[in-house]
Structure 1
C-alpha cells in the first residue's frame, strides 16, 4: 500500500518537511482550495501543487477532493454546465499525472461533528459526534463550519439550498449521483483516473437532509449502475464503522475490486448514533484495524491509504483532527500492521 498523508497546502501548519520525516511516508493527499466549487482547475494551478510536493521528494498520490457542485446534487437544469467543468478538471488532473480522485456527494455539509475538542481519558482531545446535540445546532448563525470542509455558505445562501433539499428524496439524490457518474466516468476511463466516492459521515441523514453513500447495499447499487473499474470508493473505516450494523470485513470482501483509496481511523461508539474518534489502535475503539488491513491485503489492495483524523496530543494545537503527532503515530501503527501481515504471508 502507498502510505499517504493529508496536507492542506502552503498554509497548513503541518508542513511537507514534517510529513516526510514520518517513517515510510511518501504520498501526499491534497487539493486546490482557493478555486470556487464547480470552476475548472487550471493545469497551471495543478502543476504548481504537484511541483511543490515533488520539490520535497514526495508524491501527490490522491486529490481529495474535487468538490461536486450543489446544482449537480440537486439535479438542477444547470448541472450539465458544472459537470462539463468537472470533466475538464479531470482531464487537467490526468495531464499532471494524477490517477486517484476522492470526492463525496453529501448534500450541503461535508463530514460533521458537534465537538472539535472533546476530552479523552488519556488527556488528549478529539472529534466527537453527539447525535442528540444536532437537534440544538443552529445551521444559520454563520458559525457552523468544520475544518475539513471545502465550502461554506452565507446565511441566506445556506437557507436557500437547505430549503431546496426538502424536495429531494434519497431516491432522487441517488438518481442525481448516477446521472453525474454516467457523465464523468467515461472521461475518467479515457484519462486513466479512478474515482473514489467517500461515504457520508456520519453514514445516515442529518438535519433533515438525505444521504445515500451510507451502506453496502447503496454502494453496490452505485457500482453496478455505472459498472466500470474506474467507478469506485474510498473505504473509510471511521465513517462506515460508525454504524454498528456494518461489517467492515464483509464490506471489503464484497467490493474489494472497486476500493481505490482507504481512510483508516478508529472510533468509539457511544450509543444512539453518537461516537468519538480515538487513536488508531484496534484496542482503543470499535474498528478491528488489524482485521481491516489483513483483509485489504488478502483482497490484493495495493493503493493509497492514509491515517485519517487524529487526536490532539502532547499539547499540539491546530486544525482539529489534522494535527501532526497522532496521525504520524497512526501511520507508523498502520505500517507495522502492513509489514507484519506481509511478512507472515510472504508477500513482498
Structure 2
C-alpha cells in the first residue's frame, strides 16, 4: 500500500498541464470548479466535464479542494439557508459523479496569510514567509482596522510601528494587496480585484464584530449537522482544513488550530464523514501541536493529507522550507499515516487511498521562468513529491519487515 499521490491543479488556466503530471507519477488530481462563483450550485454537467478531462490523461479526480463555505454560512446570516441548500445539491451532484472527498475550511474572511510571497532562502530558492510583526503593521497602520491595537502586545505594536516607518507607500500597498487579493484570488477569495479592496475587506471583517470563538463553533456545527447526512448518502468524506496560520488574525476567531479544536469538532458530529484534512505545514506553526499525536488521535478521520514543512523564526513567524527540512517530523507523520492505511485494509474499510499532495513547494530552477500561483511551482513541488515518496517507500519496507517477523 501507499498513499495516493495527488497534485493540486487549478484548471485550464494553470501553467502546469494535465498531460505533464502523469509523467512523474501523479495518480489523482485535486481541483475545484474555479470558474463557478462561491455559493452557487455545482452542476453535474460541469463536474463531469472536468472529471472526464482528468480521466482522459489516465488520472482520477481524487479530491475537491475546495467546495467553498460562504461567509454567509460562517456568520449565520439570513442567506444561510439558501446557501446551505446549494451546498447540499453540490455534494449530491459530486457523489453522483463519483467524487468521494471534499476538503473545505471554516476560516473567516482570509483563507490563509503570508507577508512575503518571494522570500529568498540561503540556497537561492524562493518560498513564502509569514512575519507576525509585519502583519501587525499591515493590520494597525496600513489597513487601519478599528481597535486593532487591542489584539497585539505592546512589544509587537512597537516592532510593527518600526517596520511601518521604514516602508514606502508602494511597499505598503504591495503588502496589503498581496494579503487581501493575491493570496486569495485563485481560491475564490472573499475580496475580488477591486479598486477599494481595503474598504471591502474591512466591511467583511466588521461582520464578525459580534462573533467570537464559541459563536463560530456553533455556526460550524449548524453547517455540519445539515451537510453530513447528505455526505453520508452521497458517499462523500468531508474534511476540514486547519487554520493557516493556526492562531487569531485581525481579531477573527479561529476554531481549527489545535488538537482540542478537532476533539471538539468531531465530538459534535460523530459521523466518520466529518473528517480532517491533515496539513503538516499549517499545524506545525504552533509549538504545542504534536503532529504525530494528532495523526494517531484522529487517524480514522483523516481523509486527505497535505505534506509540507516550515521553519519558525521567533514567536508566530515562519517561512516555508523544503518538505523534509523543517520542524515537522515527516518520518513520524508518514509512518503513522501508513499504519492507519494498513489498519483500514485489515478492517475492510473502502477508503484506503488516503490521498496526499505535496503542499506548496520551493521555487527552484526553471520555476523562475514559469508562471504559477503563490506556493505552487512545478519543480519545487515535484521535488517534494519525490522526497516524500522515497521516505514512504523506506517506511513501507520497514513496516512490512516487522509484519513478516511477527
Q: Under TM normalisation by the shorter chain, which class is it?
A: over 0.9
Is 2:229 the counterpart of 1:166? no
Higher share in helix: 2
Deviates more, 1:234-243 or 1:70-79: 70-79
Is 2:232 the counterpart of 1:230? no
In structure 2, the partner of 1:135 is: 136
SS in 1 for 2:311: strand
In structure 1, the partner of 2:22 is: 20
Query: Is the CA contact (8 Å cut-off) linking 2:239 and 2:303 kept in structure 1?
Result: yes
In structure 2, the partner of 1:309 is: 360
In structure 1, the partner of 2:162 is: none
In structure 2, the partner of 1:278 is: 321
Is 2:398 the counterpart of 1:341? no
Q: Once the 2 structures are TM-superposed, how far is the Cα of residue 11 of structure 1 from its aligned partner? A: 0.5
Q: Once the 2 structures are TM-superposed, how far is the Cα of residue 220 of structure 1 from its aligned partner? A: 1.0
Bigger Rg, structure 1 or 2: 2
In structure 1, the partner of 2:153 is: none
Question: In 2, distance between residues paired with 1:269 and 1:17?
Answer: 37
Q: Alignment RMSD, CA only?
A: 1.6
User: In the TM superposition, what are the counterparts of 1:93-242 in structure 2 within 5 Å?
Assistant: 93-137=94-138, 138-139=142-143, 143=177, 144-145=180-181, 146=183, 149-153=187-191, 154=194, 155=197, 156-242=199-285
Q: Which aligned segments of 4 or more residues in structure 1 are displaced greater than 4 angstroms?
A: 139-142
In structure 2, the partner of 1:31 is: 32
Query: Is the CA contact (8 Å cut-off) linking 1:109 and 1:149 kept in structure 2?
Result: no
Partner of residue 328 from structure 2, selected from 287, 290, 293: 287
Question: In 1, distance between residues paired with 2:143 and 2:256?
Answer: 22
Query: Is the CA contact (8 Å cut-off) linking 1:266 and 1:279 kept in structure 2?
Result: yes
Cα deviation digits, residues 107-158 of structure 1 (max 9, x gap): 0010111110101111011011111111122459672221553224253432
Query: Is the CA contact (8 Å cut-off) linking 1:134 and 1:207 kept in structure 2?
Result: no
In structure 2, the partner of 1:330 is: 384
Question: In 1, distance between residues paired with 2:395 and 2:230?
Answer: 36
Query: Is the CA contact (8 Å cut-off) linking 1:203 and 1:243 kept in structure 2?
Result: yes
SS in 2 for 1:211: coil
SS in 2 for 1:106: coil
Q: Once the 2 structures are TM-superposed, how far is the Cα of residue 42 of structure 1 from its aligned partner? A: 0.8
In structure 2, the partner of 1:255 is: 298
Q: Once the 2 structures are TM-superposed, how far is the Cα of residue 102 of structure 1 from its aligned partner? A: 0.2
How many residues align? The count is 345
Question: In 2, distance between residues paired with 1:34 and 1:191?
Answer: 24
Q: Once the 2 structures are TM-superposed, how far is the Cα of residue 334 of structure 1 from its aligned partner? A: 1.2
Question: In 2, distance between residues paired with 1:191 and 1:67?
Answer: 18
SS in 2 for 1:271: coil
Q: Once the 2 structures are TM-superposed, how far is the Cα of residue 87 of structure 1 from its aligned partner? A: 0.3
Query: Is the CA contact (8 Å cut-off) linking 1:7 and 1:29 kept in structure 2?
Result: yes
Give the alignment's TM-score, normalised by structure 1: 0.96
Q: Once the 2 structures are TM-superposed, how far is the Cα of residue 227 of structure 1 from its aligned partner? A: 0.6
Q: Once the 2 structures are TM-superposed, how far is the Cα of residue 18 of structure 1 from its aligned partner? A: 2.0
Give the alignment's TM-score, normalised by structure 2: 0.82
Partner of residue 310 from structure 2, selected from 247, 259, 267: 267
Q: Once the 2 structures are TM-superposed, how far is the Cα of residue 342 of structure 1 from its aligned partner? A: 1.3
